[in-house]
Structure 1
Amino acid sequence: MPLTRSCWLPGLLLTAAMPAIAAEGPVYGPELQGFEYPYTLKHFAFESQGKSLQMGYMDVAAHGKANGRSVVLMHGKNFCGATWETSIKALSDAGYRVIAPDQIGFCTSSKPDNYQYTFQQLASNTQQLLKALGIQKASLLGHSTGGMLATRYALQYPEQVDQLAMVNPIGLEDWKALGVPYRTVDQWYERELKVTAEGIHDYQRNTYYDGRWKPEFDRWVDMYAGMAKGPGKNQVAWNSALIYDMIFTQPVYYEFKDLKVPTLLLIGTADTTAINKDIAPPEVKAKIGHYDLLGKQVAKLIPQSTLVEFPGMGHAPQMEEPAQFHKALLGWLDKTNPVP
């Protein structure tokens, strides 16, 4: 059953008890204890793979006149439900009920010691949450890795999906098939143990935002880095490694043609994100991660697709230019499934 937790006192005490570390940035617990979410954080307890787990999520009611429809937001690999803050407000103000879960292995949700990560499993977990909340059908909005998950969900439960929208989804190409080298889970784990706020900032600025940066992005760097250096850092790093392996080895690219719902691709064209690009040979690196081309290519594969491009924007146009992004999103949602 869904549970509400208004605060995470142990995480706050832990942060206060480590002034030397905190001086270099905030420190958060393994389930992001101590980090403030923009809306009430609840937890859904369920069983999966023989384990008792919990998913953190926000369930935000429509403001003003409700239209009777729900939107489920699926976050990216280096993001959390909290990073949907402006989108939640825009959708709620437009009359939608908004559900923003943190997937297992991420953010405020459980990070089990041994878990077989598949997009099918994460889709099933999310479907259980929606069933518990009484939501029989919803529109999906997936960002980055969340785009891969939203695609899998729409393929797995097509009768429960009204519309599918994806923001700079990764997985618009099959990196492995294109010659990108494989990293083992152990290699990913060692890499994740070395994560720093500075490294996260530099990677996101260069890859996500084409060299640009806004001060409001710092909070999301602190969110990721604070958990990665917190008391559960080994647990966080191990689950992150398993998730990276899932992303690289479980492409949805070949099934875009099988989508049966209206689909919107919202693409910042300056994005250059590609898994393992940093270890790819020069000739392979040169041909991957080109969202200015990938959006157009994948739009042709999806039967009921609409492509909206944001020229010059990066991996997260919903965070770079919220007003412009949400105007396009809300216009499409209403056009493809108008309120009676």
Structure 2
Amino acid sequence: MSNALTQIKRVPLPESKTNVFYREQGAATAPVILLLHGFPSSSHQYRNLIPLLAVKYRVIAPDLPGFGFTEAPLSFEYTFANLTSTVAEFLDVLGISQFSVYIFDYGAPTGLRLALQRPEAVQAIITQNGNAYEEGLGIFWDPVKLFWASRNEPSDRDPLKQAMLTYEATKWQYDEGTRDPTALAPEAYHLDYALLQRPGNPDIQIDLFKDYENNVKLYPEFHEYFRKSQVPLLAIWGKNDPIFIPPGAEAFKRDLPDAEVHLIDAGHFAVESDTEFIGQTILKFLERRGI
């Protein structure tokens, strides 16, 4: 049986000097599911999913540095390599050596980089609009690709801040493609926007947009990992998402012929609109895989 309520915890990481905020629920001896959030959110996006999975699993959802309530030192360099190192250290401090991982948005390159480092640790992957193929990059990425080619001057960074970090842009990521946006909990995007606006955070987010190009460069290595490991993979994808589009979900079957792919009538934040369906689909998937 799971714990009655999701626990709110913090753990200091001595090597990275980062204080990680995370949510946890489930029996300490149960198999672990690691939930990795995306931009511009935090572990808050999993507040409703965690109890559904915790009936059978130990569910752990950290806030990545730069998001939510994790505290990083001023010297922290915001790259996806460093986000991955932080998650790896977090798992080591908690004594977790095996886990299934739910990857969404920024959680995808973070989780897949972790899989490259520790392939034996990953028991299964659940990807919800968590991309690993160039054909999965929607038109949302067009201005970001131009930024990748820039010299990263203030004149290159400021337009992205104005386009990507506004309240309207944050709410759009939740609303666009969602069957009934009025049913979404408004505190989700209000919290995301408030945390994005903390002093120094806009530049952190632009640094991560710039570094995302290095994730795309790693796609061939991700694909090789898929082919070699044949890791069990469930892709459950909001098919109306303009950020990571359906061809990205379907592409997993190229390298993982046994992957299960579900395209659902939802947007980017499908975990907000279709929590119950996603939770039950994950439980059935992991049961079929003997996890």
The TM-score with structure 1 as length reference comes to 0.71
Deviation for aligned residue 1:167: 0.5
C-alpha distance in 2, partners of 1:319/1:42? 22
Change (3 A) 1:119 1:202: closer
Equivalent position amino acid for 2:289 in 1: T
Change (3 A) 1:200 1:316: closer
Match of 1:253 among 208, 215, 219: 219
Equivalent position amino acid for 1:44 in 2: V
Q: What's 1:236 paired with?
A: 201
- 1:106 alignment partner, SS class: coil
Contiguous gaps of at least 5 residues in structure 2 = none
Contact 1:56/1:109 (8 A) holds in 2: yes
Larger Rg: 1
Deviation for aligned residue 1:294: 2.4
- The residue correspondences of 1:40-119 to structure 2 (distance < 5 A) are 40-48=7-15, 52-62=17-27, 68-93=30-55, 95-119=56-80
Greater share of residues in helix: 2
Q: What's 2:267 paired with?
A: 314
Contact 1:55/1:109 (8 A) holds in 2: yes
Q: What's 1:167 paired with?
A: 128
Equivalent position amino acid for 1:322 in 2: T
* Pairing 1:332–2:285 present: yes
Equivalent position amino acid for 1:96 in 2: Y
C-alpha distance in 2, partners of 1:320/1:332? 20
Change (3 A) 1:154 1:303: farther
Q: Percent identity over the alignment?
A: 19
Q: What's 1:18 paired with?
A: none
Change (3 A) 1:293 1:250: closer
C-alpha distance in 1, partners of 2:14/2:159? 29
Match of 1:297 among 251, 259, 269: 251
Contact 1:138/1:162 (8 A) holds in 2: yes
Contact 1:257/1:302 (8 A) holds in 2: no
Q: What's 1:276 paired with?
A: none
Deviation for aligned residue 1:319: 1.6
Deviation for aligned residue 1:90: 0.6
Deviation for aligned residue 1:171: 4.3
- 1:76 alignment partner, SS class: coil
Q: What's 1:214 paired with?
A: 182
Equivalent position amino acid for 1:116 in 2: E
The TM-score with structure 2 as length reference comes to 0.82
TM-superposition CA deviations, 1:28-78 (whole Å, max 9, x none): xxxxxxxxxx83322221245xx622111122223xxx8721111000111
Change (3 A) 1:98 1:162: same
Q: What's 1:264 paired with?
A: 234
